[in-house]
Structures are given as structure tokens and as C-alpha cells.
Structure 1
Amino acid sequence: MRPKTLVRMTAIAALSTATFQSAPALADAGSLLDPQTRALQMLQYEEDRTKTILELQPFRTTQTARGADDTSFELVTLNPGINSWFLLTVSSEGFWSTTRKFHLELADPEHSTLTLVAGAEPELVIAGEATEFRCTPWSGSSPELDDAQYRGLPFAPICDERIFLRNRVKGNSTNREAVADFLRDNVVFGESLVNMIKGSFYEDAFMNSGPVIEGADAGETVKALGKAQLDNAPVFRTSFNFDLDGAEGGRVEAGSWYAISDIPGVYASAMQPGMISRDILNRPGETNGLDGVERGADVYLIAYDLEQFELGYELGTDHPRVDWSPRPSGAGRNYRIPGPDGIDDSDPLVRSGMLSPAKTERVVGTFASGFKRSHGAWRLTDKAYTNYGHHYGFISEGVIFSKLQPDLATILVLDDGTIDMRTWTEADNKLLPRIRYARQNGVAVIEPDPATGIGVPGSQIRSWMGGNWSGDADAKLRTLRGGACMKTAGGRQFLMYGYFSTATPSGMARTFQAYGCDYAMLLDMNSQEHTYAAVYTHENGDVVPHHLVRGMAAIDSKRRDGTPIPRFVGFPDNRDFIYLLRK
């Protein structure tokens, strides 16, 4: 593929985990605790009170040790079933007593384990099936933990690069993002001001309508995904920022799929909602009608063949937060606790806002994954006054940052790599020990029909408040939006990301219906920063980003020589994201 943008991998990003060998299978998280401890930690998790983020981890296990000099050590495995994140506490006694906490991440959690071994000089032990490595990163005249902490890298390798110390850094944000944060945090009625700005500047600001090209050759289509159900499938020019096999000059046949050049297993498609089959558009009672602007607005999609990829989720350095959204009030808010889950920050855990260096070599795609906490709860309807406003939940590396709420659209990954998208239920809480990643955003755009199993528009598509669809202060729903869906085709599971240059929830639903999606959800909206998506090639040791639309390239950072550094991969960002890794 001809590079359109370029990033050089740093030495740390090129870290290899090939030296690790397979470790014994991990036991279920709950089974590692004695019944009394398990009951106590579940009570801490469920209690409606101010608490620490550690008390939100009901499956955690703790090891302790004390050295000959009375220095005490504690290693908390935050979710043993996932085996990725750990909290190390080192406390010294005496006149200069100190307590320091370090958030550690195993570089290869699938093939190694981390334990704390007691003795006169306690040690960390990283063990694989046939290997064992011991280290004491807190000891010596220049402790390795000190060096790693003061280097300021988001991920600083220690213990022969088998562990990363996650360091707190400031995430990138655009001027618009920084202004919005300032208004919300420092100005009375800041949320209303931000809504006013959105109403004035965002509606249709990114709307695109590609010109139809009469009589052009659509090129070779991708057969496995089929075609969207359209009445009209002309060839038109797109703004994709990557090359497509069989599509010259960015010209594609509407609704057809094309392989993205040099990225096996990833496909792209484009259309306009006005082209959708009347059999779908005219179904009564499912959605609101689409106006002329929305009918002619471009929609761009990327599809990932999940037989070839793993999915992950990483929190931004700042967003989503864990305190209260300003939306719930009355019975939807408990003013005695700092947030809906009893916490208002993630300390001492560190949110990196970027991909772990151990995963950089396999990254294939990323996209922005959802709303900030300020918009991630209900203002009205029953959901605003129950479960503390139904704040959207999220889990990363098996660590619960915000509880998953019933009736919300959820994308999740289990410990065995299973990827699913569903409406969360109370019964699904039994899956919590096994969840590696989860992100909630509102309610379903598309959900299976109970009778047929075929994807149909969600029950709240036509309700602005019921769906918490957001928009501007005048409830105008048409704006730039991003969403995702799951589809099964030819016995294969696909994850699609959709970029809607200007759309309502109804337009999103009809589009995902036309593409045969089984389940779909809204992610974020209003700017290309919030709907950012990119795919990557790896060329001569470099990670090369190719954006879903050209305007997204401006969001990446740049070096002094002008070459871009890709968002989420090359530098920390303040927003959370979903990523795809090649298996």
C-alpha cells in the first residue's frame, strides 16, 4: 500500500514478547479466593458507599511479604482470571517511612504469570511453562522502579522487559476538547454552553455527499460480505484515506465491499441512506423518516473478519471519568458518594490512553469507542431515576472502572477471546469474572427480533430521551456519528465500524439493517476526533496509519519533520478507544 501517513516505531514500541513460553492455564478468578474473602470482596463491590477502586474488584487476590529490613510488600492481582494488571505497594517504616504504589502490566499475560515470593529479600517471579525470571526492581542504589517512573514513558519496561510500569501522563486533546473540558469543569452552566456550541457549529459540519459517476466500473467486490440491500447502487467517489483493491481513484459501487489493500481481513464499503431498499426504509413503526440531507450523506464502513483478529479496549488518560454525570438528579443521584460506583477517580491505577508497546507489532485498526462520562447517563425517563442514571459501564484488562448497567448496549470480550455485542442483563453479571474488556454506550441501534433473530431497529430509536441519543440543545438529532455492529456472514463473524457524515439514530439503524447487522450500537458523535478510525500497515519497522476519511489525519500528532504519529498507537490520548490485533 502506498503510505499516506507515516510513523516510526520507537524502540520500546517494537518490544518483542517472543521469549515468553506458554504458562499453565489460569484458574477461574472466583475459585482462587476462600469463601470468606470472596464474600467480603463481593460485599465491598456491591455496597452503596464511598470506596476505593480496589474495592470495585471483587475477584482480586493479594500476596504480602516483609523483607529483613522491615520493608513490606503487597502485590494485588486485580483479576486473576485475566492475569494482566497488578498493583504493587512498597512500604518502608521508620523516621523516613514511605508508601509507594506501582501499577504493573504483564507484557505477555497469556503465557506468563506474576507472583510475589517471600523471603529475607522478597522477589517478583515471572514464570512461564518452562521459564522463570526473578527480579527486585525496588532494590539497589538506583532502583529500576525509580528509573522507570522518572523516565516519564507511558509504559516503562522493567524486569528484563517482562513487565511494564504504567506511568501517569497527560493525554492529547484538541483545542475544542480542551475548551469543552474547561467549560464543564470551571464555568457555571458549562454543559449548557457546550450544547449551545454544538448546536451552532456541529450540525452537518462534517456532512459529505460524494458525486455519482455514471457508467464507471465498480471494480472487484468482496464476495464474502455480500452487498447492502439497496434499490440504487451507483458508483460514486469517496474520501477513504486508504487504497481499495479493484477501486480506482476512490470510486466504489455503493453497498459493495472492497478489500483494503495490504491489510488482509479488513474491508471497506460506502453508501448513502437514500439508496437503501424501500422494503427497509418504508417499514412502518420502526424508525423516524429520513430527510433529504440525511438521505444524501455519505456513510463509510470498515469490516474486520474476526477469525483473524483479537479485540481490545483501552481507557483514555482522562475519559471516560468515573465520577457523576451532571445529567441524573433526584432519585438518580446519591450526593453522599462521589460517583455512581462510590469512586470519583481511578487512583492508584494508571490510565495510559495508548496501546501497550507489547501489542504494537500486531495492531491492525483502532477507533474511538464512546461518550465521556458527562454524556454517558440519562437525564430523563425511567433510566434517569434508577440505577443512579444508568451511567455507561466500562472494563479494561478485567478491571472494573464502572459497573455494567442492565439494558445498555455493550461490546465485550471474554477471557477466551470471544467477542460479543449485546444488551446487558442482570443475568449477565455471572460473566464478570471472565470479562477482559467491555464498553457500554446507550441502547441498541439494531437488536435481534425475538421471533426471527433478524436484526431490527432498537425499541428506543424514535425516542430522543429514551435512547439518550444526544444532539444539540434543540434536540436536533442529525449530526456526525460513529457506530459499530456485529454481523455473521458465511459462517464468519465480522465487526463493522460505521462513520455517518451526518445522520440521526434512525438513519444509522436503516443503514445497519441494509448491511444485515445482527446488533449495532452508537459510539460517539459531533466531530472527527470523536469518530476517529484508522487502519495500519507495518512497513520497514514503521506503523503506517490510513484513516477512514482524510480529515482524520489532522488529529494525529506530528514530529518536527512533519511526519505524523498515529493517535492511540504513538502517543497517549485523553479519550478511550477500541483496537484490533492480528492473531
Structure 2
Amino acid sequence: MDLSIPAAIVGRLSDTIFTWFEAGSWQRGFSSFPWSGRVPSWVRLLLGVVVLFVVVSWDPAQAEVSPTEEVNPSQAAEYGAQVAKTVLALQQFRETQTINVRTPQGKEGTVTLTNLNPTINTWFLLQLSWSTDSRGSAYHLENPNPKGQRFKLDPTFPSGIAVVEDENQYPCDLNLASAQNFLDQARASQSVYAPVCGGRVILRNATKGHRTNLEAVTDFLRDEVWGGEKVIVFVRNNVTSDSYRETADFQTVSEVGMRGAVGLDSDAAPLPALVDPRFADRLVVPVNVGIPLETSMTKGVQLGAWYRVSGNPGIYFSMIQPNVIAPEILQSHKTLVSYLDGVEASSLCYLVAFDLDRFDLGYALGTEHPRVGWSARTSDHVKGRMLPGPDGIGGVTPLVTTGLINPADARRTVATFTGGFKRQHGAFKHGELALRNAGSHYGFVEDGVVLSKLQPGLATLFVLADGTISMKTWTEADNAQLARVR
């Protein structure tokens, strides 16, 4: 999992991840998501957003699959070449096997299985081609147990693939020599993640995502109307500006006659925010918060303090209003951080923290966004050659982005939230970064598969194969660990 972004949307302190929400956004994003002691078994299908989810850590008892990180020189050259290419050419660590297959009628063909990143061992592409059909077929397969099994082709078993677990090998018959193989049958099903071979293999199927009427209108304006972005900006700034903004009325401890909900003083909880001493005794009653806490919020909570979420150990909730932050913080770095106006400074913000000793992070693309073509913010002279996108690709076909968390992770998922920008806004229009690396579009990696290159100079949140979570400014030297980014 990886997400490199032109402006940091996530801050990291010790082993806790913090995500800032404008007040009201949390409830809209989680209105259908049950917060309880049980981990939900489903997640809403999303279109137009990137999904970043938090999941319970890997079971250490699972068997390890030995990865390889050797780079094929020709594949590395394909990855770096500034030419039009397919998404497969962005996978410089891929391993490919090909065997011959013959139908009962004597038609000759080939089966090609590509492990897109053997170190992560999750996404595979199976391609079937026949001598009488130049088009062929492609199937995006997912390994539901990447730490315990791997897929390979066996020349003695051309009708399917072999699933290898330790020293054991299980045949997965896909009936590939038939006119209607089992993968075609799974593709015709209504399942986005269609299990085959008893669930040892998952076929990812394309589906339509969900979007609001507002998202549909803005996408239409951007894609179909000349100058549509200017129309969107005008409406946003003059009609809907701050329409979801929430503020809070403060109360003092003496007014409510009690201390209110006292924040945590524990090594496990995040450190409280530094608040202006003038507001140290102020309480605020949260409104439209769909997150139950262990302590009552009826009398109010302290701004900047952290509270345990009920039924979910390791998850904490807090509220802050920028104008109550300690003056020494607000007055620092004036040349780097823009001044907050009165509306921004008095807007209520919700924060949620996850103890990453208890949780893991994952990342998944939506069904349509982010795209991989050019951002309209990129100037024509930076684009250079007539490429479909900054990485040489204009789409990710034959790979399938589902907008859904896969079933194996869904059972362990406790939260999802937006993880990035649409490609339209995901590049620099001005400044030094706008002139480097084709406008420095933000990059993203899902399950070890590069769908947009990670760019030097951008704040990057990433998880390695061993579960290590880091956030840093990406550099050219960091590309040495790209094979281990999941």
C-alpha cells in the first residue's frame, strides 16, 4: 500500500495515525458503517474516491512465502522508459510463466501467468490466447492468502494453475481448454470477488461504483464541458462554500458544574494538543458525531484531549478548533503555512487516531478515481511527448479496480476513509515541483502493484511487506525498497 500526495493529509506521531476531518464529514462517510465491538463484514462500494482502510494486523502464525526481489534489466528499462506502455510495463519486479494448451478439437493456445509483484504475492494476471483468435482473454486474479500460498503454472496440468502451500501443491482446475472455462463462468456471476477452486483463488470482476448526484455533475463538467473546472470552482466558492462547516459553543467547567469528560492520561493514548491557556477550562458538546465513546459527551469534552472509542480498543477520538491552539504554534512557520482566516480558525475539526501496534493499513483504488492520465493542472510544455499520462499509461486495463475491500480483509476492517485526491487535482500547477517529473503527479501502489509512480519530493505514506508503516518525503533512493511496498 502506498500513497504519495502533494500535501500531507495524514500526520503521524509515534505509532498512531491521525486523520483530520471537517466536522460533519465523519458522519457522512460512516453513516452506514457500524461502530461496535464486532468487525463489519462489508464496506460500501465507492466511486470517485480512494479508499484507505485500517485492518487488524496479520496473524504471525501464517506461513511465509519466500519472495524474490531480483530485477530483470529489460523490465527495469521498460519501467523507466518515457514511452506509451501498458500497466504491465510498470511492474518491473513481475515474474511470468507461459505454457502451451490444446483443446480437445486440436486448437493450439498459450496460458501466461504473471505474478505482478512476487514479494507481495497478491495480484496475478492470467492471459489466455489462441492461434485462431488474436484478442485473447485476460483475468485479474487475487491471492487471498499471500503469506501462506503462491500460484504457478505446471506444464503437466495445462487446464489450470497450481496452488503451492509449503511443500504441498494443489491443482486448481480452471478448464482452460474449454470454450467456457471456469473463469468465464465466475466473470458472469454477480460477485465482484468471485471465488474459484474452493476460495483458494479469487477472480476480480469489474463493477460500477457509487457516486452522489453532486459527484456525477462535477465529473460531467470536468470531462465533457470546456472550462468546466472554472464553473465548479465558481459554484464552490460562491454557492456551496462552507456549507458543511460546523462550529461549537464553548462552556466553562464552572458553568456546567463539573469537569466534563476528562481526556486520557495514558501511555497508550496520543499526546493531547497544546491549547491556548485561555481555553484550558473550556468544554464543547460534540454535535453529529456518530462515534460512541466510553465516556459520556453530554456535559462536553475538552478540546485537544483524546477519548477511547467504545468497543474498539486502540481507537481514539478528539476535537479541536484551530483558534484555540497554542499561540506559539499558530505563529510559527509563517513563511511555510498560510494564515487561517476567521472562518477557518473557528471551524470545528474531528480527529481519529489508531494505535498501529493493534492495526494495519491498506489502500485500494475506487472504481473510477484516481485516474492515471494527465492532470489538467499540468502545463503543455511539461507533458513533452504525446503520452496518455505521466507514466506512459492512460488506464490500468486489464487490471480491475473494484472500489471494494476484498473479502479476506473485510472481516478485519474497522474503518475506511478517503485516501487521496482525484488525478484532476493530483499534480502541481506552480512552483518547482510543477516543472519536475512531468508535474509531480502523486503516485499510488495497491497490493505491491504500481499504478502511478511514486515521485521524489512528495509526502508519502507507505506500508512495507513486513508491516512497517512509514511517512516521509519520498526520494530517488527510496525506490530501492519499491518491491517491498504493499
| Same fold flag (TM > 0.5) | yes
Q: Which residue of 2 aligns with 1:143?
A: 181
1:237 paired to 2:275? no
1:180-208 Cα distance to aligned partner (Å, 9 max, x none): 11111111112222222221234222211
Distance 1:331 1:385, change over 3 A: farther
1:53 paired to 2:87? yes
Q: Which residue of 2 aligns with 1:71?
A: 109
Amino acid at match of 2:216: A
Distance 1:418 1:284, change over 3 A: closer
1:248 paired to 2:297? yes
1:275 paired to 2:324? yes
Amino acid at match of 2:404: M
Amino acid at match of 2:149: S
Amino acid at match of 1:304: F
1:394–1:400 CA contact under 8 A, matched in 2? yes
Q: Which residue of 1 aligns with 2:408?
A: 358
The 5 A counterparts of 1:377-396 are: 377-396=427-446
Q: Which residue of 2 aligns with 1:39?
A: 73
Q: Which residue of 2 aligns with 1:90?
A: 128
C-alpha distance in 2 between matches for 1:409 and 1:417? 19
1:412–1:420 CA contact under 8 A, matched in 2? yes
C-alpha distance in 1 between matches for 2:175 and 2:61? 26
1:274–1:296 CA contact under 8 A, matched in 2? yes
C-alpha distance in 1 between matches for 2:275 and 2:31? 31
User: Displacement of 1:328 after TM fit?
Assistant: 1.2
Q: Which residue of 2 aligns with 1:112?
A: 149
C-alpha distance in 1 between matches for 2:155 and 2:431? 54
User: Displacement of 1:142 after TM fit?
Assistant: 5.5
Q: Which residue of 2 aligns with 1:227?
A: 272
1:168 paired to 2:213? no
2:87–2:396 CA contact under 8 A, matched in 1? yes
C-alpha distance in 2 between matches for 1:47 and 1:141? 38
1:12-38 Cα distance to aligned partner (Å, 9 max, x none): x9xxxx9998444322322xx5xxxx1
Distance 1:22 1:251, change over 3 A: same
Q: Which residue of 1 aligns with 2:246?
A: 208
C-alpha distance in 2 between matches for 1:131 and 1:252? 56
1:386-442 Cα distance to aligned partner (Å, 9 max, x none): 211111111111111111111111111111111111111111111111111xxxxxx
User: Displacement of 1:230 after TM fit?
Assistant: 0.3
2:41–2:411 CA contact under 8 A, matched in 1? no
SS in 2 for 1:160: helix
The 5 A counterparts of 1:327-476 are: 327-436=377-486
2:159–2:175 CA contact under 8 A, matched in 1? no
Distance 1:129 1:250, change over 3 A: farther
C-alpha distance in 1 between matches for 2:213 and 2:435? 34
Instruction: Name the % identity.
Output: 38
SS in 2 for 1:117: coil
Between the two proteins, the alignment pairs up a number of residues equal to 421
C-alpha distance in 2 between matches for 1:141 and 1:48? 39
C-alpha distance in 1 between matches for 2:400 and 2:408? 17
User: Displacement of 1:291 after TM fit?
Assistant: 2.7
Amino acid at match of 2:295: G
Distance 1:332 1:97, change over 3 A: closer
1:210–1:236 CA contact under 8 A, matched in 2? yes
C-alpha distance in 2 between matches for 1:99 and 1:403? 28
Amino acid at match of 2:305: S
Q: Which runs of 5+ in 2 are unaligned?
A: 1-29, 35-39, 46-57
Q: Which residue of 2 aligns with 1:192?
A: 230
Amino acid at match of 1:138: N
1:27 to 29, 50, 67: 67
C-alpha distance in 2 between matches for 1:169 and 1:5? 20
SS in 2 for 1:44: helix
Amino acid at match of 1:237: V
1:292 to 339, 342, 346: 342
C-alpha distance in 1 between matches for 2:191 and 2:235? 35
C-alpha distance in 2 between matches for 1:379 and 1:328? 6
Amino acid at match of 2:449: V
User: Displacement of 1:40 after TM fit?
Assistant: 0.4
Stretch of structure 1 that moved more, 407-416 or 231-240: 231-240
SS in 2 for 1:427: helix
2:251–2:284 CA contact under 8 A, matched in 1? yes
1:23–1:113 CA contact under 8 A, matched in 2? no
Distance 1:252 1:136, change over 3 A: same
1:394–1:401 CA contact under 8 A, matched in 2? yes
Distance 1:179 1:221, change over 3 A: same
1:196-253 Cα distance to aligned partner (Å, 9 max, x none): 2221234222211122233243324222323110022311011321111123338211
C-alpha distance in 2 between matches for 1:281 and 1:349? 46
C-alpha distance in 1 between matches for 2:407 and 2:469? 23
Amino acid at match of 1:25: V
2:260–2:299 CA contact under 8 A, matched in 1? no
1:77–1:83 CA contact under 8 A, matched in 2? yes
C-alpha distance in 2 between matches for 1:243 and 1:193? 39
SS in 1 for 2:391: coil
TM-score (norm 2): 0.82
The structure showing larger relative contact order (alpha-carbon pairs under 8 Å, at least 6 residues apart) is: 2
Stretch of structure 1 that moved more, 405-414 or 119-128: 119-128
Q: Which residue of 2 aligns with 1:318?
A: 368
User: Displacement of 1:301 after TM fit?
Assistant: 0.2
1:259-300 Cα distance to aligned partner (Å, 9 max, x none): 000011000000111111122223363534333222221111
1:77–1:86 CA contact under 8 A, matched in 2? yes
Amino acid at match of 1:91: S
User: Displacement of 1:334 after TM fit?
Assistant: 2.4
SS in 2 for 1:198: helix
C-alpha distance in 1 between matches for 2:412 and 2:458? 31
2:65–2:150 CA contact under 8 A, matched in 1? no
SS in 1 for 2:124: strand
1:21–1:129 CA contact under 8 A, matched in 2? no
User: Displacement of 1:98 after TM fit?
Assistant: 5.5
2:90–2:450 CA contact under 8 A, matched in 1? yes
Q: Which residue of 2 aligns with 1:520?
A: none
1:138–1:146 CA contact under 8 A, matched in 2? no
1:20–1:111 CA contact under 8 A, matched in 2? no
Amino acid at match of 2:273: A
Distance 1:19 1:326, change over 3 A: closer
C-alpha distance in 1 between matches for 2:142 and 2:485? 17
C-alpha distance in 1 between matches for 2:270 and 2:33? 30
SS in 2 for 1:353: coil
1:266 paired to 2:310? no
Distance 1:348 1:21, change over 3 A: farther
Distance 1:52 1:84, change over 3 A: same
SS in 2 for 1:71: strand
